[in-house]
């Protein structure tokens, strides 16, 4: 006589279903994933998922007023019902302070290494500097050109520190002074990213102002 199917009282979400099985006296010790000679029970799978979540949440996001760190891509696997042989995690750290971003990267590398060892998996880490921050002095000719361009467009300039990376970062790092001008995007780097037609018209006016101001300065 066949045993009755196991019943789990849990919400219909992946997390709640895994938690219910991990706590079940019969299902908990059962193997749910296999990769090579490794096996994961429901309880072990739950624990490893929690461990990864803790890693992703540990010192990520807004670190301080100058520094951010994010994990934006987690990918891997070939099919929904096949255990992934490898997983690729892509993250980044940014700061206006070189010492802070160096310390943040070192922390992220240490966290990945520690968690990989705890999970019994191999890890390959590739750290690259994509760009470096810069600041211009208050009397910089570039700031004067930017201010005149904004005035010619009928706008009031406002100096601000930004956390983005652009061609300006590359030019400045190589000894070619460059200035990044805001172009009026709203909710940048989100599904709601947009620019109004009014901002686009102002951008045209600023671009023309830059050409005039730079030509005059030259």
Q: Is the pLDDT of residue 205 over 80?
A: yes
pLDDT at 215: 85
The SS3 of residue 90 is strand
CATH label, 141-217, candidates 1.10.10, 1.20.120, 1.10.150, 2.60.40:
1.10.150
pLDDT at 29: 84
Query: Which pLDDT tens digit goes with each residue over 74-124?
Result: 888 887 777 777 889 899 999 988 899 999 999 889 888 887 887 777 889
Rounded mean pLDDT, 190-210: 92
Q: Taking a C-beta distance cutoff of 8 angstroms, is the pair 206, 181 a contact?
A: yes
pTM, to two decimals? 0.65
Q: Is the pLDDT of residue 218 over 70?
A: no
Rounded mean pLDDT, 167-174: 90
CA dihedral 145, 146, 151, 154 (to 10 degrees): 140
Average pLDDT of every residue of the chain: 84
pLDDT at 114: 83
Q: Taking a C-beta distance cutoff of 8 angstroms, is the pair 209, 148 a contact?
A: yes
59 φ/ψ sector (left φ>0, alpha ψ -120 to 50, else beta): left
Which residues face 167 on adjacent strands? none
Which residues face 93 on adjacent strands? 69
| Spans of all domains in the chain | 9-57, 65-130, 141-217
Nearest-5° Cα angle at 57, 54 to 58:
80
Rounded mean pLDDT, 204-218: 87
Tokens 């461990």 correspond to 51
Of 80, 68, 137, whose CA–CA distance to 105 is shortest?
Answer: 68
């Amino acid at each position: 006589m066949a045993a009755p199917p196991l019943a789990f009282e849990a919400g219909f979400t992946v997390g709640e279903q895994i938690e219910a099985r991990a706590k079940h006296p019969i299902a908990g010790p059962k193997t749910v994933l296999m990769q090579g000679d490794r096996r994961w029970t429901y309880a072990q799978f739950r624990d490893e998922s929690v461990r990864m979540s803790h890693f992703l949440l540990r010192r990520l996001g807004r670190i301080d007023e100058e520094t951010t760190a994010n994990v934006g891509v987690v990918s891997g696997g070939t099919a929904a019902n096949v255990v992934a042989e490898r997983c690729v995690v892509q993250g980044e750290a940014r700061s206006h302070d070189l010492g802070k971003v160096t310390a943040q990267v070192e922390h992220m590398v240490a966290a990945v290494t520690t968690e990989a060892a705890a999970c019994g998996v191999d890890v390959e880490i590739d750290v690259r500097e994509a760009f470096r921050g810069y600041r211009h002095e208050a009397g910089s000719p570039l700031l004067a050109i930017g201010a005149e361009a904004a005035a010619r467009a009928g706008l009031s300039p406002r100096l601000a520190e930004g956390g983005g990376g652009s061609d300006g970062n590359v030019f400045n790092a190589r000894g070619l002074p460059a200035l990044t001008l805001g172009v009026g995007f709203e909710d940048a780097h989100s599904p709601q990213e947009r620019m109004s037609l009014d901002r686009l018209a102002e951008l045209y006016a600023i671009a023309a102002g830059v050409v005039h101001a730079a030509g005059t300065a030259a």
